[in-house]
Every structure is written in C-alpha cells, then in structure tokens.
Amino acid sequence: MARTLRLAVLQAAFGEDMTANIRTVEKLIRDAAKDGAQVILPPELFQGPYFCKTEDTVHFTTAYPWQEHPAVTALAPLAKELGVVLPISIFERDGQEYYNSLVTVDADGELLGLYRKSHIPDGPGYEEKFYFRPGDTGFKVWSTKFGRLGVGICWDQWFPEAARAMMLMGAEVLFYPTAIGSEPENPGLDTRDRWRRAMTGHAVSNVVPVAAANRIGDEDGQIFYGSSFIVDDGGDFIADMSRSEEGFAAATVDLDHLDERRASWGFFRDRRPELYGKLTGNR
C-alpha cells in the first residue's frame, strides 16, 4: 500500500492580539484536519503583525523561550487531539538572544525540536537583522508520524542550497512558513510571482513537493500577498489560494511514487560535491 500524505497550508490576517491570532490558527487547523490534512502549516510569525517592517524595541517583549511560547503551549495539545503534525513559527527568546524560530510538533503532541532561521533579511520593510540572530541549529529534517519533513522559514526559501541540504538529510516534503508582501521603497514592485517561481525551482530540481503558507492583509500600508500554495515534484500547482482569502488549501502526495521519481531523475546520483568547493576557469 502506497504511503500518501495530505498536507495543508493556512492563510489569514493577524492583528495585535496574540490570543486571537492563535485562535484563528486553531480554527483553520481544525478545518484542515476535518478535510483530512495530516501536516498543517501556518504562516510565519502568526503571533501578531509582521513587526519587522520597522525597528522598535517594544517588540522584543513578545518573544518567549520556545517551549513556553503561547503558540506552542496552545497548539501542541491540539496536534495531539487531532492527530496532526504542526510546524509552528515563533519569535523565540533564549537568554539575551532572539531568533526567528520554528517548533515542529508531532501528531502525538511531542515537541520534536527547534529550527532557527538561517538566512536573515535586512531591507526596507523587512528589517529582521535588528531583531533576530542568524540561526545556529543548522537545517533540520523532522521524522514525524507521517513522513520526513524539511522546514525552512521565509527568507530561507530564496536559497537553493537550503532546499538541497534538507533533501540530502532525507526530506520527503519541504515546507516554508512565510511573510511576504509589498516593498515599501518600491510600491510598483510585485515580487509574488518570482517568490513562487523560486520555490517551484526547488521542487523541480529536488523532485519534491513544496508548500508555502503566507499571511494576507494591509498592515500599515504593507500589503501581504497571500497566494499560499502547494506544488508537486514537477513544479505544478496542486493547491493554491488567492491574494486575499482566509482559509486553507490542501493536497495529497504519494511519497513512495516520489521516491521512485527522485531516483529515476538522477539529480542526486550525478552530484559532484568534490568539485563544488573549487574555483575553475582560465586565469
């Protein structure tokens, strides 16, 4: 019998009330679970508005140790109740250090561990280096009840080496919680499609489904794209959402069939890692 996995991405707008935001995500998780989803991905930093568009020290008060974060303590029991896997994005405090992190909760409610965002952006509207240290966990692949899941966080999604590293660690599906929208310094620039194309490239070159969950709404003039999606191993959309709808999108993938396809393409067979660290060319 083939191993199949039904995955879902959530999409919503978030305000200042952390408790209300967690309740919104809880409702959407329940809706997706009723639809049969086994792994359910909320957006990045859903605990509140995307605060990194400006530099303001007050936001440091919203960080918590990862095992005590209100999103984790509220949703881990829900994962157990519903029998689903939840990658939960949080603002983490570890002593005097702060990280953009993710906790993966297995279907029995166990906290499998922590991933800290490796790539930290710094630009108008996305001033994350003010708040977050670069992650020190390395990339993570979680062995869950339903399969081996690789999870990056937002800016990680632009780096092909991050996706490949997770695949070399045995990931069967890649997930990216995201907060991406308009560019304050260039209102005419819409990066939604190139964002999607970057991740469909990861899907094609690694022969793996990729899922991304984004927020929606206008947060003080920064308009988030929504457009959460799931692509299959060929980069074709098998579930997606509009720029403004709240809810979830779900799709089912055949993990055994993906193993066969990945082997047949030879992308991992034909790698030449012994050459990658060498400079070549005429001098």
Count of residues in the chain: 283
Instruction: Say which of 117, 128, 140, 219 is annotated catalytic.
Output: 117
Distance CA 268, CA 256 (A): 17
Distance CA 25, CA 27 (A): 5
**44 labelled catalytic:** yes
Nearest to 248 by CA among 235, 237, 239, 236: 239
Nearest to 114 by CA among 148, 82, 138: 138
Separation in Å, CA 28 to CA 8, 43, 102: 10, 12, 19
Instruction: Say which of 44, 92, 128, 172 is annotated catalytic.
Output: 44
**117 labelled catalytic:** yes
Distance CA 17, CA 54 (A): 19
Instruction: Say which of 140, 154, 172, 219 is annotated catalytic.
Output: 154
Around 215, how many Cα atoms within 13 Å sit in the side-chain half-sphere? 28
**52 labelled catalytic:** no
Distance CA 189, CA 207 (A): 30
- Tell the residue number behind the tokens 């919104």, with chain if given: 24
Task: Characterize 89-100 residue by residue with b for buried, 16 or more Cβ atoms within 10 angstroms of its Cβ, and e for exposed.
Answer: bbbbbbeeebbb
Q: Which residues participate in catalysis according to the annotation?
A: 44, 117, 154
